[in-house]
Every structure is written in structure tokens, then in C-alpha cells.
Structure 1
Amino acid sequence: MTTILVTGGTGTLGRLVTERLRGDGHEVRGLSRHAEPYAVDLREGGPTLGRAVDGVDVIVHCASTPKGGDERAARNLIEAARRAQVPHLVYISIVGVDRVPFGYYKTKHAVERLIEESGLGWTVLRTTQFHDLVRTMLRGFARLPVMLLPAGVDDQPIEVAEVADRLAELALEAPAGRVADMGGPEVLTFPELARAYLRAEGRRRPVLSVPLAGKTYRAFRSGGHLAPQQAVGRRTFEEYVKEERVAR
């Protein structure tokens, strides 16, 4: 039996990783800001973080927020892992963090570098955007009478449960460095994604593509966030939104 710490253990991804590993009989400690007995704000660190990492074989680092503080959190986690001599740190990242100059992506890339230079055994998995993130974006666009979408931008959403399965596998393997990216099964334009979402919701909206400006937009237009050669996902976005609608 392996002892594993999952940061962000109550989050969308971390919760599923925890369930997978516990289901396979491993001891899993879930760390989040409010979940006892390992309630820790990684940005602050503290003695509870030391107790959380003590004696673990692997850390799966899923905790992240676009609101800031990921680098500070990673430094605190790495320092605690070094003191506890944790042999393996697994990190979930995003396809394109080294190609798209989006603020959150740059932060994720910086965390990758911290982990690579930590002296710990490490594994980094990059994936494309999760289905639920894309759906949330489209729900926001659909609040207006006309859905205004970024012109010329494609996306490749992936099922979060499939990513959780892969992270659970990696946690039980030896440190592997940067592993192959995971992309969703289809690269679709934003109008195609929007129409799939509207069909699932039984709604009608005109869809209008709007050109934007700036380096970040150009990087998204060029497909810097896509992994078409690694389209290993199985559940499509249309299947996801239909099934989520039925489940509500």
C-alpha cells in the first residue's frame, strides 16, 4: 500500500484522484484549505503541512487557483517535501503554458520549473481544458442575446475523470519527468462548441465570432493550447453537456 497526499483534495480533479487511489486500496491524505485533518492554505504553509507530508510516498499536486499564489504555494510544498524526503511529486499542468502568454498559464509554467529544479523526483502531466471549464465559459457567453465568441479560436476539451485516472496511474509509477500531453478527443471551433452547448440546453442564440487583439489571443488562434497529436480523450464535449443536462 502506498501513502499519497493529494493537494486540492476536495476540488474537481483532486476529489476524483483521491477516490481512484482509495478505491485501489492506498492510503490517501486529502489536503485543502478547509478539510480536516489536513486543512492547510499552501500559500501560508505551517506545521499542518509538515504533518501532511510526513511519511508519504507520493504527492499529487492538484491545488491551483487563477486568483494568484500558486508559486508561493509550490515553494512551500516543495520545501516541506524536501524536509520529509518525499520521493515523488506529481503535478498537473496545462497544454500550452510555454506557448501562450496568458497570466495563469505563465504561473503554471513557473511552477513546473520550480518542481523540475526542486531536487525531488517529479512527473508533470499537461492536459487541455476540462469539459466543465469550457461549459462554464459558454454559459457566460450565453447570458447575452447574442453569443460573442473569439474568432478563429479552437479548443480541445477533455473529461476530468480521464485525467484523474491518468494521474492516479502516474502516482503509482516511478518519477518520469514530463510525460506525454493529454488532449480531448476532438479539436472544435468555438461556434461548434457553442452550438453543442445550446443543443444540450435546448436554447437558441445567434452565434457571432469577434476578432480580438493581443499576443495572448494570437497564441490561442495559432493553437498553442492544443494537442491534436495527443487526442487520447474518449468522452466528447457534446456527450458531456448532454449527459450533464440529463443529470440535473
Structure 2
Amino acid sequence: MTTILVTGGTGVLGRRLTERLRADGHEVRVLSRHAQPYAVDLVAGGSGLDSALAGVDTVVHCASSPRGGDEKAAANLIAAARRAGVGHLVYISIVGVDRVPFGYYRSKLAVERLIEESGLAWTTLRATQFHDLLVTLFEGLSKSPVVPVPAGVSDQPIAVTEVADRLAELAASAPAGRVPDMGGPEILSLRALARTYLTATGRRRALLTVPLFGKAYAGFRAGGHLTPERPVGKVTFAEHVAERFGGGRRTG
């Protein structure tokens, strides 16, 4: 039996990954700021991190925050993993972190490089955005009567459970370095995705296409965050929202 520690194990991805790993028979430790008995703030580090990693074979690093701190958290995790003699560090990153000059993406790329240079055996998987992220985005935008949508931007959303299944496979396998990206089954405009969400939730809203500016926006318009050659996901966004919201019974 392998002992696997999942950072960010209470998050959207971490919960599914933890469930899958336990179903496969692994001993799993969940590390997050509030999950006992391994409640650790990775940015702050501290002795609790060493205790959490004691006897761990593999770490899957899912903890991340767009608010910052990812590089410091990764540095603390790497140092503790070295001290503990961890044999394999698996990291989940994002497609396009090396192509789109977006602040959060730059942090994810920096963490990739820290892991590659860590001296630990490692595996990195990049995936496109989860269906859940788009749902959260559209929920916020649809609170007003008009939903603004960035002009000329498409997305390739993927089911979080599919990414969790792939991470579980990688965690149970030998270190593989950078593995092939995972993309969702369809590339659709944000306008089309927003319309799908509104239909599924029964909301009547006008869509307003809004041009934005800057290098990051240009990178998204150019499709730097997409992987058209790797449409390996099976569940479409339409299927996801239909299952989640029951086909448009919700109103408001």
C-alpha cells in the first residue's frame, strides 16, 4: 500500500482525487490549512509540514491560490519533501502557463520550474480549465441583467473527475516528468459556453461581447490556453451543466 499526501485535498480537485486514491486502496493524507490532523499553511511552512510528510511515498500537489503565495508554498513543500525522503512529487498545472502572460499562470510556471530543479523525482500534468470554474464565473456574471463576455476568447473545459482519475494513475506510477496535456472534448467560444450555462439554469440574460486589452488577453484570444491536439476529456460542458442544474428548472 502506498502512502500518498494530497495538498489542497479539500478543494474541488483534491476531494475527487482523494476519493479515487482511497478507492484504489492507497493510504491518503489530506493536507490543507484546516483539515485535521494535517492542518498546515504551506506558505508559512512550520513543523506540521514535516509531521505530515513523515513516511509518505508520494505527494500530489494540488494546493494553489490565484491570490498569490504558490511559489513560497512550493518551496516549503519541496524542502520538507527532501527532508522526508519523498520518492515522487506530482504537480497539477494549467495548459498555457508558458504561453499566456497572465499573473497566475506565471506563478504556476514558476512552480513547475521549482519542481523540475528540486532534485526530487517528479511528474507534471497540465490540464485545461475545469467545468466548475466556468460555472463559478458565469454565476457571478449573471447576477446582473447583462452578462459581459470577453470578445474572441474560447475555452476547452474538462471534467474535474477526469483530471482526478489521471492524477491518481500518475501518483501510482513511476515519475514521468512532463506528461501529455489534458484538454476537454470541445473548444467553444465563451459566448457559446455562457449561453449553455444560462439555458441550463433557466436564466434569461442578454449577452454583451466586450473587447479587452493587454498581453494576457491577447494570449487568451490567440488560444494559448488551449490544447486542440489533446481533446482527451469525454464530458462536455453542456452535459456537465445539464446534470448539475437539471435542465433549466432554475430561474432568476
Number of the residue aligned with 2:107: 107
Number of the residue aligned with 2:208: 208
- Please list, as runs of the form range in 1=range in 2, the aligned pairs for 1:217-232 lying within 5 A after superposition: 217-232=217-232
Deviations 1:55-112 (A, max 9, x none): 1110000011111111000000000000111110000000000011111100000000
Moved more, 204-213 or 28-37: 204-213
Letter in 2 for 1:36: Q
Moved more, 184-193 or 206-215: 206-215
Number of the residue aligned with 1:179: 179
Number of the residue aligned with 1:155: 155
Shift of 1:132: 0.7
In 1, Cα distance between equivalents of 2:118 and 2:11? 25
Letter in 2 for 1:87: G
Query: Which segments of 5 or more consecutive residues in structure 1 lack a partner in the other structure?
Result: none
Shift of 1:203: 1.5
In 2, Cα distance between equivalents of 1:202 and 1:33? 37
In 2, Cα distance between equivalents of 1:149 and 1:14? 29
Number of the residue aligned with 2:80: 80
Letter in 1 for 2:124: V
In 2, Cα distance between equivalents of 1:212 and 1:24? 45
In 1, Cα distance between equivalents of 2:131 and 2:198? 15
- Please list, as runs of the form range in 1=range in 2, the aligned pairs for 1:94-133 lying within 5 A after superposition: 94-133=94-133
Number of the residue aligned with 1:194: 194
Matched position secondary structure for 2:229: helix
Query: Which segments of 5 or more consecutive residues in structure 2 lack a partner in the other structure?
Result: none
Matched position secondary structure for 2:161: helix
Deviations 1:137-166 (A, max 9, x none): 112221222211110000001000000000
- Please list, as runs of the form range in 1=range in 2, the aligned pairs for 1:2-41 lying within 5 A after superposition: 2-41=2-41
Number of the residue aligned with 2:165: 165
CA RMSD after TM alignment = 1.1
Shift of 1:36: 0.8
Letter in 2 for 1:63: A
Number of the residue aligned with 2:235: 235
1:59 aligned onto 2:59:
yes
1:134 aligned onto 2:121:
no
Shift of 1:171: 0.1
Runs of 4 or more above 3 Å deviation = none
In 2, Cα distance between equivalents of 1:194 and 1:36? 38
Letter in 2 for 1:59: V
Deviations 1:1-51 (A, max 9, x none): 111000011111111111111111111111010111100000111111101
Shift of 1:195: 0.9
Deviations 1:154-193 (A, max 9, x none): 0001000000000000000110000000000100001110
Shift of 1:246: 2.5
In 2, Cα distance between equivalents of 1:87 and 1:20? 20
In 1, Cα distance between equivalents of 2:82 and 2:34? 24
TM (norm. structure 1) is 0.98
Matched position secondary structure for 1:38: coil
Shift of 1:208: 1.9
Give the % identical residues.
69
TM (norm. structure 2) is 0.96
Letter in 2 for 1:222: A
Shift of 1:206: 1.6
Number of the residue aligned with 2:42: 42
Aligned length, in residue pairs: 248
Matched position secondary structure for 2:112: helix
Moved more, 206-215 or 155-164: 206-215
In 1, Cα distance between equivalents of 2:87 and 2:141? 44
